[in-house]
């Protein structure tokens, strides 16, 4: 049902409020301070951040379960003249092969029910290389998402990742988390 709802939203005219077409400064800072490698964007939407990464030399892969968003992402990459891979798929059942140097999530995990979050974390641990980085932006609990606290993030990824940074988000209660794969 959720997949159908998200796909339907991408058929509506205009932009989705979560799909601004602008890469966040947190991702820009990371890219500026790390050599290009292989990157995975979980819940990539229309591909803004995958295209940004590809423009900066990264081998970038995006996954989203909204087929219409993936089609728009492929068009965005073609229009930008970059090579990226986009897959229509469920981030709780990752169908990609690692290893990835960077995994990026701008607001996907916080909308997944807790049972799916466990599957998401296990898949991420499988595809991110040891020493690789996972950048996560998540709303705090409340509102239309399940939300995550810093304690939730630490507990969810404790088996494979260390939380090395937490930065308060802007606007509604949220945070940017930087995790490193052990």
* pLDDT digit string, tens, across residues 68-90: 899 999 999 999 999 999 999 99
Pairing of strands 100-106, 38-42: parallel
Neighbours of 91 (CB within 10 A): 25
CB neighbour list of residue 59: distance below 8 Å, 6 or more residues apart: 36, 37, 38, 39
* pLDDT (mean) for 104-130: 95
Residue ranges with strand state E in the chain: 38-42, 59-64, 85-88, 100-106, 128-139, 161-168, 174-181
* pLDDT (mean) for 127-142: 95
Maximum alpha-carbon separation in the chain: 43
Q: Is the pTM of this model over 0.75?
A: yes
Taking all residues of the chain, what is their mean pLDDT, rounded to a whole number?
A: 91
Task: Give the angle subtended at the CA of 77 by the CAs of 59 and 91, to the nearest 5°.
Answer: 65
* pLDDT (mean) for 1-10: 57
Neighbours of 49 (CB within 10 A): 25
**The domain 2-6+23-181 belongs to what CATH superfamily?**
Vaccinia Virus protein VP39 (3.40.50.150)
pLDDT (0 to 100) of residue 2: 59
pLDDT (0 to 100) of residue 15: 66
* pLDDT (mean) for 108-122: 93
pLDDT (0 to 100) of residue 59: 98
% of residues, the chain, pLDDT over 70: 90
pLDDT (0 to 100) of residue 73: 97
Alpha carbon distance 61, 100 (integer Å): 9
Domain ranges of the chain: 2-6+23-181
Is 67 within 8 Å of 3 (Cβ atoms)? no
């Amino acid at each position: 049902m959720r997949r159908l709802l998200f796909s339907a939203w991408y058929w509506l005219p205009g932009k989705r409020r979560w799909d601004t077409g602008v890469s966040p400064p947190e991702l820009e800072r990371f890219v500026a301070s790390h050599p290009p490698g292989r990157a995975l964007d979980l819940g990539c939407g229309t591909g803004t951040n995958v295209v940004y990464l590809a423009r900066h030399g990264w081998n970038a892969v995006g996954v989203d379960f909204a087929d219409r968003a993936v089609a728009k992402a492929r068009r965005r990459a073609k229009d930008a003249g970059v090579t990226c891979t986009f897959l229509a798929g469920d981030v709780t059942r990752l169908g990609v092969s690692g290893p990835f140097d960077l995994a990026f999530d701008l607001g996907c995990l916080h909308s997944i029910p807790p049972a799916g979050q466990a599957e998401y974390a296990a898949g991420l641990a499988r595809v991110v290389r040891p020493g690789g980085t996972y950048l996560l932006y998540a709303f705090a609990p409340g509102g239309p998402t399940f939300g995550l606290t810093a304690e939730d993030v630490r507990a969810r990824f404790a088996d494979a990742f260390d939380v090395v940074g937490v930065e308060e988000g802007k606007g509604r209660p949220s945070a940017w988390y930087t995790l490193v794969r052990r």
